[in-house]
Amino acid sequence: MFLPGMPFIKIFNNIRINYFTLIYSFYLFLLGIPYEIFSQENMLPSEICADTSIKTILLHRTGWDLSMPVIFLNEEETLSLHFDYLGKPLTDYSYSIMNCDHDWKINDISDHQFMEGFNDVPIFDYYPSRNTTRLFTHYEVTIPNEEIKILQSGNYLVKVYESADPDKIIFTRRFCIAERKTVITAQIKRPDESHQEILLTIDLNELELVNPLAEIKIAVIKNYNWNDLINISSPPLLRNNILYLDMPYQIYAKGGNEYRYFDSKSTKFISERVEYIDYQAPDFHFYLKTDQLKQFDPYFTSTDLNGRFFVEIPDAHDRHTESDYVYVHFELESEQAFDADVYVYGALTDWKTDENNFMVYNYNKKAYQKSLLLKQGYYNYSYAIRDFNQSDLNFDITEGNHAETENDYLVFVYMTKNMRDFDRLVGYAIFNSTGQSR
């Protein structure tokens, strides 16, 4: 069936994917392998949201909205989880914690091996919105807390579900508990005009290791995006219990560009990147200025949030309950439609590409367009392209690539299973491409 606003080729691709899924299932049947094995809980996608009424899911270090959800074991730090429910009636939610391997597969181990407490906790802290055109309920959770104490470092998922139906998962979010057992140093270079190269040394002398090259796993991600995992092209070298990842092109990434931005904190004043604000009952609409393709633009430095956002309105007593939901209208000018899908991209779309942020090409205006319902605040965003037959995102045409771009690189060092039931996160550090401390 053809849906308005959806290119035929997308529908064709969906049919093709379903067709191959069917063939694959038949192949498994012939081999005697049950298809259900691939949908067990330990293969749950790392971050999902199954309810479109859930908005603005935030998980960060308490007191620092723009931080990665990483805290250190046995230190006086906590994580704050926030989310909104746009709907009626009021829904009761609970949450639990799941331990994961270094590659985010859920561990099939008992709760007491990594935590103290009862791992099925109702969310008691929720508040109605105030003075907003959109009514919603705001939920808050602090982790760890009196109900849950985490005993081991590593990767974790917090799973939120309806209290009345624990099998109905509403959303999941990743977080990490780290140890200070390694010393990580980095140098970031510009090998050419469009790429950045990360050189690492990792001191392992505080760890008891039998085979460091086999037991240590390293992950490097860019700009707080769990999905932007940078490929490490070859294994590290080990000398005097120090790992060296400093070979040319060993950790190598496109520089990208500084993020686009808009300010929707006030419905009374038009900010720099907003063309005009219109009230169409019951919602405010922010129409952004038309964006241009940046592939051939020279690099211009600007301060950004590296793809993130924060919720805010002027003079709020509680910004989480008083910031309203508004429609934001994006428009990307292009003389012709691409032979690919285009998406609004960033933390504002949970770093995902799906029908929720898929842009439609307007042939009359020669521009891609999309409207998103977002909570008031200050936002970064970009435009991503994905070819129909590929999963990788491309920003070359929409944003361009520059070696000078300011980026944050997050380094995770894991000590993997060796007669243990879990992977420890023994080192974590953030490095900025400009040399600024983090």
pLDDT in tens, 121-155: 999 999 999 999 999 999 999 999 999 999 999 99
Please report the pLDDT score of residue 437 as a whole number: 65
Please report the pLDDT score of residue 300 as a whole number: 95
User: pLDDT tens for residues 211-220?
Assistant: 999 999 999 9
What rounded mean pLDDT belongs to the chain? 90
Please report the pLDDT score of residue 438 as a whole number: 67
Please report the pLDDT score of residue 40 as a whole number: 37
Please report the pLDDT score of residue 419 as a whole number: 66
Q: How many CB atoms lie within 10 A of CB 197?
A: 20
Determine contact, residues 284/327, Cβ cutoff 8 Å. yes
Please report the pLDDT score of residue 8 as a whole number: 35
The total number of residues written for the chain in this structure: 438
Please report the pLDDT score of residue 44 as a whole number: 60
Please report the pLDDT score of residue 390 as a whole number: 82
Residues of the chain with pLDDT under 70: 1-45, 418-419, 437-438
Whether the full predicted model's pTM is greater than 0.95, yes or no, is no
Please report the pLDDT score of residue 12 as a whole number: 35
Instruction: Specify the residue for token string 């209290």.
Output: 163
Please name the residues in contact with 320: beta carbons below 8 A apart, sequence gap of 6 or more.
82, 127, 138, 140, 311
> Strands 252-254 and 216-222, how do they pair?
unpaired
Please report the pLDDT score of residue 230 as a whole number: 97
Tokens of residue 5, six digits:
């606003």
User: pLDDT tens for residues 355-411?
Assistant: 999 999 999 999 999 999 999 999 999 999 999 878 899 999 999 999 999 999 999
Please report the pLDDT score of residue 175 as a whole number: 98
Determine contact, residues 262/273, Cβ cutoff 8 Å. yes
